[in-house]
Amino acid sequence: MRRRRFRIKIFKSPLNSDTLQWFLVARILRARGNKGEVAAEILTDFPERLTKLQEVLLGDPHGKGEPRHTKLSACWLSQNHHGQAVFHFENVNSISEAEKLRGFEVLLPLEQRVSLPAGQYFVSDLIGCSVFETPASPPAVASSPCSLAEAPALLGTVRDVQFPGEEVAGTPLLQVETSQGELLIPLAVDICTKIDPLARRIDVVLPEGLRDLN
């Protein structure tokens, strides 16, 4: 009987790559309407919180200067365009003013990131973690209780997380950079037996044949 593989829940919410002080929630696409509103691509797994914000930071797409604090007059989720939100910032009241914001990133301070329950992680918490392989079962004979055969071995470092397509069911995959090349490891509790973002470490038990699939 094939054992059911339980997935670990992962959220995207990318961090600002330069300073790690902010995280992305949206990216402005274009002006919308004639009163200064802008349409934006949603880049958070918690879009409903956008409608409750009163202030955000706007980051220049070319990285010029620090993100600036900007008051919000209103924000709502688009009913016509899935995955988009509409922002209306204070003191932006025309199409021409809205067009100047094209490409800007909508950011929030890192301390405002949603706290996740146990067993759920942000991609940014996993990238850079060291991955250690733990033997699936202890050896039949061990020279000592601390036998090296039982010690976890360093496989490599998490480079990214690969998600299945929106219409394709599947388990996200850790993209692990090893000395032999890339290794894709399913983010399932029976494989990733311990994830410790604070220690920057993930322990895995690799199923037989996984390396051959890669």
Q: What is the pLDDT of residues 4-58, one digit of tens each?
A: 444 566 776 665 544 468 889 999 999 998 999 999 999 998 999 999 999 999 9
Q: Out of 86, 112, 138, pick the residue that ends a domain.
A: 112
| Position 157 in a domain | yes
Q: Check whether residue 42 and residue 90 sit in a common domain.
A: yes
Answer whether residue 173 is part of any domain: yes
The answer to whether residue 181 sits within a structural domain is yes
Q: Structural domain of residue 29, as residue ranges?
A: 22-112
CATH of residue 84's domain is 2.40.30.60
Mean pLDDT of the 127-152 span = 71
pTM of the entire predicted model: 0.66
Tokens of residue 62, six digits: 């070319």
Whether the CB-CB separation of 53 and 88 falls below 8 Å is answered with no
Give the whole-angstrom CA distance, residue 74 versus residue 35: 12
Between 41-45, 103-107, 148-152, 182-186, the lowest mean confidence (pLDDT) is in: 148-152
The percent of residues above 70 in pLDDT, for the chain, comes to 82
C-alpha to C-alpha distances, 34 to 28, 77, 90, 201, nearest whole angstrom: 16, 18, 14, 50
CA 77 from centre of chain: 21
For 153-164, the pLDDT digits (tens) are 999 999 999 887
